[in-house]
A and B are shown apart, each in its own frame.
Chain A
Amino acid sequence: MGKILALLIVLIVVGSVWSFVSGHWWFPVGISEHAGAIDAQFKRTAVVVAVAFIASQLALAYAVFKYGSKGSERAIYSHGNNKLEAIWTGITAVIFIILAFLGQVVWYNLHIRDAAPGAVQVDVVGQQFQWNFHYPGKDGIMGSTDAKYINDAALNYVGLNPDDETSKDDIQMSILVIPEKRPVAIKIRSKDVIHDLFIPALRIKQDAVPGMNVAMHFTATKTGKYEIACAELCGSLHYNMKTFMLVVSQDEYDQLSAMSEDKFKERINQLMAAEPLQ
């Protein structure tokens, strides 16, 4: 019985390790400046995890293989070994705490450090079941908004203030467009329930919370069309609350920034049709 269980544990280890390293299933290719750092921290942690996982499971398999009962022979009478215990505890504590500290660097850069001056501004507004992206338009100034101005029927999804001069040229659209290789500062909120802006290729995930405005920033490094999903349960069509992100060249972005709303949307629709999904 012990030998069957030992074999089974070994097979589980092999299967688990294979599913991670086979290459069939991995993170989408990262296209942001911080994606590499997140992936590197994942891999560092994966080494620790793999060593601990394989060593513990194989030790378990070895023990059940080796130490089955043999007639009336007795086990070795021992209540433990404090020295071994202390060494083992010390080693794991040091490794785990080092890992935890190493992981903080990316987090600090993304969430705690301010965005670089001159970053491109986009406001993100989630609602059941669509994403709205609010661009400052030609004047480069984000117009003011308020919930009382929201009117979905009149396509004012984000609640632009009609009396604010700086709002007049603002653009709202359900596609996220950003330039490559330039810092982008986003502010995320929601109109109704909690949503979550999940852009796998950027390694970006942030809850959109009604009543809050969450700021974060990132820099995309490769042009193309990418999928956006919702990663916080927001109601019946949660699974379908998806859209796209276009990362365009800096030239293209400058041209888009100078366009009126109609032209902007027309050009985006052209790009959407032309770009293959990454």
Chain B
Amino acid sequence: MAEVMHPTHGEVHHHEPPTGWLRKYVFSLDHKVIGIQYFFLALFSVFVGMALSLLMRLQLANPGQKIAFLATLFPQAAKDGVVTPEMYLSLVTMHGTIMVFFVLTTAPQGGFGNYFLPIQIGAADMAFPLLNMLSFWTTFVALAFMIAALFCNATTLGPIGGWTGYAPLSALGNIAGPGQGIGVVLWVSSIGLFCIASLLGALNFITTMLNLRTKGMSLMRLPLTCWAWFTTAVLSLLSFPVLMAAGVLLLLDQLAGTSFFIPTGEYVSGKLLDTGQQGGSPILWQHLFWFFGHPEVYIAILPGMGLTSHVLSTFARKPVFGYKAMVYAIFAIGLLGFFVWGHHMFMSGMDPRTAIAFSLITLTIGVPSAIKTFNWLGTIWNSRMRFTTPMLFSLGFVSLFVSGGITGLFLGQSTIDIPLHDTYFPVGHFHLIMGVAAIFGIFTGTYFWFPKMFGRLMHEGLGKLHFFLTFIGVNAIFIPFHVMGMVGAPRRYSTHGDLQYLSSVMPLHKFVTYMAIITMAAQFIFLFNLFWSMAKGKKAADNPWEATTLEWDIPSPPPFDNFGGVEPVVHHGPYEFSVPGAPNDFVMQTDPMVVEGQEAE
């Protein structure tokens, strides 16, 4: 196929960039511009999400305290500057939703995937540039809806049903709680739009990777980042439509008087429901939500896993340990991820026999995860590591992946889930693994690819300071969550002060809040470094890290059509470091030299 499409190496199909400002920077079809747009959308969202969590932490450390500026900002939601229970719940809801959709799903895939998948496979752009642009702008509108939900109700700051939006709390409207009417409508509309955007993106990623690989780029020569983006796209393609269907049904329950999720005989706020809505199933929402929700965890983390393998190998100056095992482990995680949604529902009242199946399959996901960890350690073993900032974040990713992943062995067992379900234990678990591990993946990507994207290097000293503060901080915040959960602290409580058996968690809440403030402050170092380096950073060479993959073969930043119309030809796998006898300690994929002992294909 590739032979037919690209008959001669070096033939020039140069494309000129568009000249209009709008076409160039706003409604751009260039995957690199779209990638950067996604990146900044996620950057905006992560600071919104972080601000919401700061308010939560302040309330939890000193429940009921008056925070002067809150009274000014939100005179109704935070009367006298006190975070009300409703406001707390809307902080929880909006923090979770914004972080999961607009940060963890958006930055690694829409951002870095968009920018680097075409370049790493040697293509001039995505397969469908127009879909790509539509995908970003749909995401943008989705974010606008989500932010609008924050202002839907003056007494809260949005819906209060949590990012999982369980029905019938989310289906009944304002009668079930403040913010649950128009707030939920905006919230679920935003999610629906996000689903459409993700679907467009997923189709594009899959087609691009299968069809646009350059000459010599066989599947087993793809960088692991590409495999991760590809698998993530497949997961998105299969899971987002299910969430969208659920969202549409919820919207109909809210607006059209249907009752997909509202059962018969609802007695709410002192009276029997008189809307005629009956016969629905609250559990149905959970099945649909988690059928999406569990693959979503892998949508957030898989790109980070691919990037970690890539960056560890680059800075360890050593080939990835067990490349094929890594590829198959990504597939295995992606596949198994579709059969474990029920482990979120052990306490839901579903047939308890199904819990046995879900438990067994959930624990088997530990196996490919263990392969990944083992191979990361194998990659850095006997290596010669260069501790650059992206390398530090990758090593941090491995540590966090272990800490966060391993507690899944508790939560995956329905029996142990009885005391732990809906406590701070799972909150600690998923924050470590799909929250901060995935965010460490995003930081890795930022520090690693910044020179390629912006043509300048980020400041290494500030980068390292950012790494150490953040790495200490996230551990100090989320490890204590686990023991709070063991004591029995339920999540989504605006205070634990009213339950006597939780007295031992109150000092921990204070400690965690201090750590959170330090960690959040450290993120401004990152923000400063990012913008300062864009303007004033040291000029980057084409290949500042002495890396091997195709993006390091072209100028920093790359020209409009990536390879200047020249089709690159690939001769090697992506991780040929420290090859004995080679002139340098890295052999680029395009280097025609023969490598002894290269894995047979």
Residues of A within 8 A of B (CB): 1-2, 4-5, 8-9, 12, 15-16, 19-20, 24-28, 37-38, 41-42, 45-46, 48-49, 52-53, 56-57, 59-60, 63-64, 67-70, 72-82, 84-85, 88-89, 92-93, 96-97, 99-101, 103-108, 110-112, 127-128, 146-148, 150, 152-153, 159, 188, 191-194, 196, 198, 200-201, 203-207, 209-212, 214, 227, 229-240, 242, 277
Contacts of A78 in B (CB 8 A): 318-319, 321, 382
Please give the distance in Å from A209's CB to the nearest CB on chain B.
5
Which B465-513 residues have a C-beta within 8 angstroms of A? 468, 471-472, 475-476, 479-480, 482-484, 486-488, 490, 492-496, 498-501, 504-505, 508
B561: CB under 8 A from chain A? Answer: no
Please give the distance in Å from B285's CB to the nearest CB on chain A.
10
Kindly report which residue of chain B lies nearest to residue A77, judged by CB atoms.
B578
Contact with A along B392-429 (1 / 0, CB 8 A): 10010011001100110110111110110111000000
Contact with A along B276-320 (1 / 0, CB 8 A): 000011110000000000000000000000000000000011111
Please give the distance in Å from B326's CB to the nearest CB on chain A.
9
Contacts of A101 in B (CB 8 A): 360
Kindly report which residue of chain B lies nearest to residue A108, judged by CB atoms.
B356
Does B384 lie within 8 Å of A100, measured CB to CB? no
Does B479 lie within 8 Å of A19, measured CB to CB? yes
B224: CB under 8 A from chain A? Answer: no
Does A100 lie within 8 Å of B363, measured CB to CB? yes
Give the CA-CA distance A134 to B457 in the complex, in Å: 68
Please give the distance in Å from B126's CB to the nearest CB on chain A.
31
Give the CA-CA distance A16 to B283 in the complex, in Å: 36
Does A242 lie within 8 Å of B498, measured CB to CB? yes
Which B245-284 residues have a C-beta within 8 angstroms of A? 263-270, 272, 280-283
Q: Evaluate whether A70 and B384 lie within 8 angstroms (CB atoms) in the complex, with A19-B479, A77-B319 already known.
A: yes
Does A152 lie within 8 Å of B347, measured CB to CB? no
Does A60 lie within 8 Å of B168, measured CB to CB? no
Q: How many A-B residue pairs have CB under 8 A?
A: 358
Q: Evaluate whether A205 and B347 lie within 8 angstroms (CB atoms) in the complex, with A52-B406, A93-B367, A150-B267 already known.
A: yes
Does B413 lie within 8 Å of A41, measured CB to CB? yes
B172: CB under 8 A from chain A? Answer: yes
B177: CB under 8 A from chain A? Answer: yes
Contacts of A73 in B (CB 8 A): 384
Does A69 lie within 8 Å of B386, measured CB to CB? yes
B76: CB under 8 A from chain A? Answer: no
Please give the distance in Å from B490's CB to the nearest CB on chain A.
5
Contacts of A194 in B (CB 8 A): 166, 168-169, 282
B176: CB under 8 A from chain A? Answer: yes
Give the CA-CA distance A63 to B402 in the complex, in Å: 15
Q: Which of these, B374, B383, B392, B486, contacts A88 with CB under 8 Å?
A: B374
Query: Can you name 16 A-B pairs with beta carbons within 8 Å?
Result: A16-B403, A16-B479, A25-B484, A60-B380, A75-B318, A75-B577, A75-B585, A85-B375, A111-B352, A200-B419, A209-B282, A233-B161, A233-B162, A234-B169, A239-B492, A239-B498
Does B318 lie within 8 Å of A77, measured CB to CB? yes
Give the CA-CA distance A205 to B421 in the complex, in Å: 8
Kindly report which residue of chain B lies nearest to residue A240, judged by CB atoms.
B498
Does B325 lie within 8 Å of A85, measured CB to CB? yes
Please give the distance in Å from A236's CB to the nearest CB on chain B.
4
Please give the distance in Å from B267's CB to the nearest CB on chain A.
4
Give the CA-CA distance A235 to B347 in the complex, in Å: 19
Give 10 new A-B contacts, CB below 8 A, not counting A38-B415, A45-B410, A103-B416. Answer: A2-B385, A25-B508, A75-B316, A76-B318, A88-B374, A103-B413, A196-B422, A207-B347, A236-B86, A239-B495
Which B319-367 residues have a C-beta within 8 angstroms of A? 319-323, 325, 347-349, 352-353, 355-356, 359-360, 362-364, 366-367
In this complex, the member of A42, A78, A89, A104 whose beta carbon has the largest number of chain B beta carbons within 10 angstroms is A78
| 7 closest cross-chain pairs (CB), A and B | A211-B263, A147-B265, A111-B352, A80-B322, A25-B483, A239-B493, A1-B387
Give the CA-CA distance A92 to B368 in the complex, in Å: 9
Contacts of B585 in A (CB 8 A): 72, 74-75
Give the CA-CA distance A74 to B586 in the complex, in Å: 10
Contacts of A59 in B (CB 8 A): 377
Does A85 lie within 8 Å of B387, measured CB to CB? no
Please give the distance in Å from B409's CB to the nearest CB on chain A.
5
Q: Evaluate whether A200 and B266 lie within 8 angstroms (CB atoms) in the complex, with A1-B464, A69-B317, A147-B272 already known.
A: no
Q: Evaluate whether A42 and B416 lie within 8 angstroms (CB atoms) in the complex, with A233-B492, A235-B160 already known.
A: yes
In this complex, the member of A88, A112, A128, A235 whose beta carbon has the largest number of chain B beta carbons within 10 angstroms is A235
Kindly report which residue of chain B lies nearest to residue A22, judged by CB atoms.
B483
Contacts of B20 in A (CB 8 A): none
B129: CB under 8 A from chain A? Answer: no
Q: Evaluate whether A239 and B349 lie within 8 angstroms (CB atoms) in the complex, with A74-B578, A75-B384 already known.
A: no
Give the CA-CA distance A238 to B162 in the complex, in Å: 12
Give the CA-CA distance A230 to B416 in the complex, in Å: 18
Contacts of B480 in A (CB 8 A): 19
Please give the distance in Å from A180's CB to the nearest CB on chain B.
19
B148: CB under 8 A from chain A? Answer: no
In this complex, the member of A108, A201, A214, A239 whose beta carbon has the largest number of chain B beta carbons within 10 angstroms is A239
Give the CA-CA distance A1 to B349 in the complex, in Å: 51
Does B409 lie within 8 Å of A239, measured CB to CB? no
Please give the distance in Å from B500's CB to the nearest CB on chain A.
5
Give the CA-CA distance A207 to B468 in the complex, in Å: 41
Please give the distance in Å from A12's CB to the nearest CB on chain B.
5
B566: CB under 8 A from chain A? Answer: no
Q: Which of these, B266, B352, B384, contacts A191 with CB under 8 Å?
A: B266
